[in-house]
Chain A
């Protein structure tokens, strides 16, 4: 999976350019030593970086690669509860894939997941950008307050946050229903926020976006603080309005960061599980609110059809790979320009 040329961040630097740069630097060593050093460096390629990252790569390959391999193998077998407890599985080839790809319910769940992910990514990035801009504009004290608030939201575990939000939206004892009724928006007594799929996903979106904004906000704020003030002032002097300044100066300078954040958000929001699963326990019709992550879990661990669940998971991996590839290529092209 070739990511790109030397423009991509994190790509290992080829050995050749290293040698000329070191030889052009003036050295305090005696002439003989320098010549020897030059010769040594020119002959031997620089293997130390590879040696240093080898343990980490090995760990990653084992911890991520082995489950992926196992997943692939599972998706090509007939694997149920009996096989889980010892019976040898049969090979069925692409039968499981055929089964899910011809199941209309799978496509429903897939489109639901894609839509949900897109909406969440748009909201997370958009609102995160606004919060970052806010943090740039306000004074130090306010910025600290906002920062602490974001940190607390970020630090809360997904399960805890979902349970608390679910209590807020509880049908009979929830704070939102009580507040809406008190304020006079309408009679929300006993209103169920999770029974209709649209309303269900709205609550889920609130939770996911609420948890995703801090990371985006902090990262974009850091990126924006790297923009030299002189450029902004120059744009101002040249007569650019605030929107033009934002679009042409700020946005274009933080574009690489923005693209990476979008790619990460797509990855995370596509695989969202905890929030949906916990909300489903609290209400709604499971069949209408399943997303791919939860669906794969219900099929494999719930119904003990590990083979079909594995096939769904592999499809998920391929889709996320595709989505992130698109963004990575965009980002690389951006850097080269």
Chain B
């Protein structure tokens, strides 16, 4: 009998405590929000004390100093509000944004890669900024990034920055091998092979660091030969990796992977700077900021500063460049953000002249055409400016993000790297791409 009483009291007590706990939490949060604002979906006005908006930026593209600058400018406009900055990784960002942007706890300002932006725009995940386009830069914005940020005639993503891929190389190893900066694509491959042969004593050495999953680096070779990932015929997409031109380009990639690269055949390029700093790399292909990452004081090797250089990937003939993969990002406001006005102000700062000028001076291609002349900085920046003039992009389809997520291209390249037949691998990839892009 006593035990039953104890059990009943214990149960009632636990339920009571749980109820008390949840109710106090609710009353707490209700206390901090101010009176309902005229905005339809925002319970807090910009006048509410302690409002924090969340900013998500990806990868290492934006330096902390720039973020601090933006936050300081933002606080000048809104002294009582704050910006919570969270740095995300590029890998897996599509999945992360899918869950985050659709939840009730969505970040306010997010950075989207230009290959991923279309999918989210089509899905209605982002706030429509068509009315504010003029304030955000209007015609001064980089056209190709504006296209990535526009869907169905509506403007969702403000161009943030652009970058083209370049080649970072070891000047001292070049001298030792008697090589000069290659002026044609064939010279480039030959230089990579020679470097690997000359440095065979160094374990894991790569003349050209080309891990199996590095599809960004494979694209210039495909494009240079006249091939492409997919083309749109009428309304339907068709994968073209198995065309004769694309296969020729893939053959060049295979040659690099077999004879010039010592990178893991199934690895990705995220840790290439580690290998570079270890002295295992002659040349590597990377975005403009790769040089900065290699010479970074914290996890790079600044001691190598006098032994590294950069150039744009050359094309078929001397004096030309191969089509470079145009990377870049757009900034957008989540449709579910509760602080649309504040987020818009932050966006204006980050797309504005002050912020973008600093981007340009750091060697990144800014989002504003008027600042293109200001791109200065190291060799990498100059190489990037050259490379960007001949740049290409992935198929602009809202389903492209799905193709990236299903890792069709990395899988194809890894199977080629491991000795698989190029034509067969390309055909299989084409089937997957065609079905994915057509929904």
Chain A complexes with chain B: yes
**Chain A interface (Cβ within 8 Å of chain B)?**
48, 52, 55, 80-82, 84-87, 171-172, 189-190, 192, 194-195, 281-287, 298, 301-305
Given A192-B264, A285-B414, A302-B406, residue A81 in contact with residue B123 (CB < 8 A): yes
Chain B minimum-CB-distance residue to A282? B267
Out of B7, B266, B436, name the residue touching A52 (CB < 8 Å): B7
CA–CA, A195 to B266, complex, Å?
6
Chain A minimum-CB-distance residue to B18? A55
Chain B interface size band reads: 35 or more
A52 touching B11 by the CB < 8 A rule?
A: yes
CA–CA, A195 to B267, complex, Å?
9
Given A190-B203, A303-B402, residue A281 in contact with residue B91 (CB < 8 A): yes
Closest 10 CB pairs of A and B: A302-B405, A81-B123, A283-B266, A171-B264, A303-B402, A85-B124, A195-B266, A301-B95, A85-B123, A286-B407
B410 touching A55 by the CB < 8 A rule?
A: no
CA–CA, A282 to B266, complex, Å?
8
Chain A minimum-CB-distance residue to B7? A52
- Secondary structure of the A contact surface, majority rule: loop
B203 touching A85 by the CB < 8 A rule?
A: no
A303 touching B266 by the CB < 8 A rule?
A: no
Chain B minimum-CB-distance residue to A200? B266
B125 at the interface (CB under 8 A from A): yes
CA–CA, A201 to B410, complex, Å?
19
Convert B381-417 into 0s and 1s, putting 1 for each residue whose CB lies closer than 8 angstroms to a CB of A.
0000000000000000000011001110011001100
- Secondary structure of the B contact surface, majority rule: helix
A85 touching B406 by the CB < 8 A rule?
A: no
Name the A residues within 8 Å of B410 (CB-CB): 286
Given A86-B124, A189-B203, residue A304 in contact with residue B98 (CB < 8 A): yes
Out of B91, B275, B411, name the residue touching A286 (CB < 8 Å): B411
Name the A residues within 8 Å of B418 (CB-CB): 195, 285
Out of B102, B265, B402, name the residue touching A192 (CB < 8 Å): B265
CA–CA, A286 to B409, complex, Å?
11
Name the B residues within 8 Å of A194 (CB-CB): 266
B132 at the interface (CB under 8 A from A): no
Chain B minimum-CB-distance residue to A283? B266
CA–CA, A86 to B436, complex, Å?
22
CA–CA, A81 to B101, complex, Å?
11
B101 touching A85 by the CB < 8 A rule?
A: yes
Shortest Cβ gap from B154 to chain A (Å): 14
Name the A residues within 8 Å of B265 (CB-CB): 192, 195
CA–CA, A171 to B204, complex, Å?
10
CA–CA, A190 to B264, complex, Å?
7
CA–CA, A80 to B436, complex, Å?
13
Inter-chain pairs besides A52-B7, A285-B411, A285-B418, 15 sampled, C-beta below 8 Å: A52-B11, A81-B119, A81-B125, A84-B102, A85-B335, A171-B266, A189-B204, A190-B264, A192-B266, A195-B418, A287-B411, A301-B95, A302-B406, A303-B406, A304-B98
Shortest Cβ gap from A319 to chain B (Å): 23
CA–CA, A286 to B99, complex, Å?
22
Name the A residues within 8 Å of B91 (CB-CB): 281
A302 touching B95 by the CB < 8 A rule?
A: yes
B266 touching A284 by the CB < 8 A rule?
A: yes
A-B contact pairs, 25 of them (CB 8 A): A55-B15, A81-B122, A81-B123, A81-B125, A84-B98, A85-B102, A86-B124, A171-B267, A172-B275, A190-B262, A195-B265, A195-B414, A282-B267, A285-B418, A286-B406, A286-B410, A286-B411, A302-B94, A302-B405, A302-B406, A303-B402, A303-B405, A304-B98, A304-B123, A304-B402
Name the A residues within 8 Å of B406 (CB-CB): 286, 298, 302-303
Out of A48, A82, A86, A285, name the residue touching B266 (CB < 8 Å): A285
Name the B residues within 8 Å of A190 (CB-CB): 203-204, 262, 264
CA–CA, A218 to B217, complex, Å?
51
CA–CA, A86 to B101, complex, Å?
12
Name the B residues within 8 Å of A195 (CB-CB): 265-266, 414, 418
Name the A residues within 8 Å of B120 (CB-CB): 81
B4 at the interface (CB under 8 A from A): yes
Name the B residues within 8 Å of A301 (CB-CB): 95, 98-99
Most central of A52, A80, A190, A303 by chain B CB within 10 Å:
A303
Most central of B95, B262, B401 by chain A CB within 10 Å:
B95
Shortest Cβ gap from B201 to chain A (Å): 13
CA–CA, A84 to B99, complex, Å?
9
Convert B262-303 into 0s and 1s, putting 1 for each residue whose CB lies closer than 8 angstroms to a CB of A.
101111100000010000000000000000000000000000
Chain A minimum-CB-distance residue to B439? A80
Shortest Cβ gap from B224 to chain A (Å): 26
Chain B minimum-CB-distance residue to A303? B402
Interface residues in B323-343 by Cβ distance below 8 A to A read 335
Shortest Cβ gap from B404 to chain A (Å): 9
B436 touching A303 by the CB < 8 A rule?
A: yes
CA–CA, A283 to B401, complex, Å?
21
Name the A residues within 8 Å of B266 (CB-CB): 171, 192, 194-195, 283-285
Name the A residues within 8 Å of B264 (CB-CB): 171-172, 190, 192, 283
Name the A residues within 8 Å of B275 (CB-CB): 172
Name the B residues within 8 Å of A286 (CB-CB): 406-407, 410-411
Shortest Cβ gap from B101 to chain A (Å): 7
Shortest Cβ gap from A76 to chain B (Å): 19
Chain B minimum-CB-distance residue to A286? B407
Name the A residues within 8 Å of B102 (CB-CB): 84-85
Name the B residues within 8 Å of A303 (CB-CB): 402, 405-406, 436
CA–CA, A310 to B15, complex, Å?
34
Chain B minimum-CB-distance residue to A284? B266
Chain A minimum-CB-distance residue to B429? A287
